[in-house]
Amino acid sequence: MKSTNTNSLSNNIIIETIDTSTDYNFDNSVIITDSNLAKIYPDFIKKQASIVIPFGEKSKSLESSKYIIDELIELGADRHTKIVAFGGGMILDLAAFAASVYMRGIEYTLIPTSLLAMVDASIGGKNGINYSNHKNIIGTFNQAEKIIINQKFLETLPDKEWKNGFAEIIKIALVSDYPFFEYLEKNIINSNLKNLDPKILHYILTKSVYNKCSVVNKDEKEKNLRKILNFGHTFGHAIELYFNLDHGMSVALGIIIASKVSVKMGLIKKDDSIRIHNLIKRSGLPTDIQMNENIIESINLDKKKNLNEIDFILLNEIGEAIIHRLEIDKLKSHVLQGL
């Protein structure tokens, strides 16, 4: 079977079929990966020059960016050198950011190894790092030369990382594709996500990437439409920072909150919110959280805030999101009233 290409910003995304080899070779390239993957795939890493970053979200920092740049200089990397980012979302964001600023920008390829990275971090050219307890506050827009999505890399993925990935998959369906949401309802019958039929998983990957690309193609720099991809992220990011919870788990809770706000504002029916809740729960993701003042106040740090208002993403219906500018105090009130 051959690889399949999906429509994207520059037709640069390759979604490998289930029997494709992972034996890649890249000329004049430097691999950037994390310490966990360096142990799991030592033969792949040793093929060429590599830079290994400590595993974990703490490495998504200016300090790590500086380390990468120092190492690129030491390796003699020039404007013709290419970066190959091999890893999950942290590595993809960090490596792509470094590639974007090194010598004013060198080409880079992304090989995501987690489900979350395959459907989210690798798609769209947003490259951010964290700074001073602010998530993705420093970053660039810069598209990858190539993105290679190979589901064979998911074979070593822990159970919880499957769940983190499906939070973003559900989000993409909710904001852009009702039939895809129905497909997920039909095919996600329990939280054993890694046991999905490989062909079903391939379809889910392809559909998720296609839907995200369709949005990004229309608004690469997030001036308007692309904001809908932030559905569930306003409170998701706040929950992630406050509880030190995984990104996907936090986004799932943010989706629950945003869905309930959508009901409160008369946009979707309560039955729709229940369907969303049930799909998230069936995927093994959390659905209940005790909100407090600290979490609610932390939305004041959100990049989408403008003075005392915020562009909050709501559902007009399942499969269609809208950008609604809300007063922050009104949003806080909705949440405090027992969502």
Domain final residue, candidates 156, 175, 201: 156
291 shares its domain with 239: yes
- Name the least confident of 131-140, 186-195, 270-279, 292-301: 292-301
140 shares its domain with 214: no
**Is the per-residue pLDDT at 244 higher than 90?**
no
Q: Which domain holds residue 117?
A: 4-156
208 shares its domain with 282: yes
Per-residue pLDDT tens digits for 14-23: 888 777 777 7
Task: Please name the helix (run of DSSP H) or strand (run of DSSP E) that holds residue 97, with its range, or none.
Answer: helix 89-101
99 shares its domain with 63: yes
Give 1's pLDDT tier (boundaries 50, 70, 90).
Answer: very low
Quick check: is 226 catalytic?
yes
Catalytic residue among 171, 226, 227, 260: 226
pLDDT at position 287 = 95
126 shares its domain with 247: no
pLDDT at position 3 = 47
226 shares its domain with 146: no
Quick check: is 277 catalytic?
no
Catalytic residue among 163, 168, 171, 260: 168
Quick check: is 324 catalytic?
no
Instruction: Please enumerate in sequence order all residues whose Cβ is within 8 A of that of 223, keeping only pairs 6 or more positions apart, or say none.
Output: none
- Mean per-residue pLDDT of the chain: 89
Instruction: Please enumerate in sequence order all residues whose Cβ is within 8 A of that of 119, keeping only pairs 6 or more positions apart, or say none.
Output: 165, 168, 169, 172, 205, 208, 209, 212
172 shares its domain with 147: no
- Name the least confident of 65-79, 118-132, 320-334: 320-334
Quick check: is 63 catalytic?
no
Per-residue pLDDT tens digits for 262-283: 998 899 999 999 999 999 999 9
Give 200's pLDDT tier (boundaries 50, 70, 90).
Answer: very high
Would residue 11 be called left, alpha or beta, if left means φ above 0 and alpha means ψ between -120 and 50 degrees? left
Domain final residue, candidates 122, 156, 190: 156
Quick check: is 71 catalytic?
no
78 shares its domain with 224: no
Residue 151 maps to which CATH number? 3.40.50.1970
51 shares its domain with 138: yes
331 shares its domain with 259: yes
Quick check: is 221 catalytic?
no
Residue 315 maps to which CATH number? 1.20.1090.10
222 phi, psi to nearest 5 deg: 60, 50
Domain final residue, candidates 123, 156, 189: 156
Span between the terminal Cα atoms of the chain, in Å: 48
Q: Provide the residue type at 227 as one letter.
A: K
Closest to 334 measured CA to CA, from 229, 224, 234: 234
Share of the chain above pLDDT 70, in %: 93
Total count of domains within the chain: 2
Distances (CA, A) of 57 to 76, 237, 240, 241: 28, 13, 11, 11
pLDDT at position 300 = 65
Q: How far apart are CA 8 and CA 216, in angstroms?
A: 8
Per-residue pLDDT tens digits for 119-162: 999 999 989 899 987 778 899 999 999 999 999 999 989 999 99
- Name the least confident of 114-118, 182-186, 189-193, 278-282: 189-193
Q: Would you say how long the chain is, in residues? A: 339
Quick check: is 80 catalytic?
no
Quick check: is 282 catalytic?
no
147 shares its domain with 182: no
53 shares its domain with 98: yes
DSSP secondary structure letter of residue 214: H
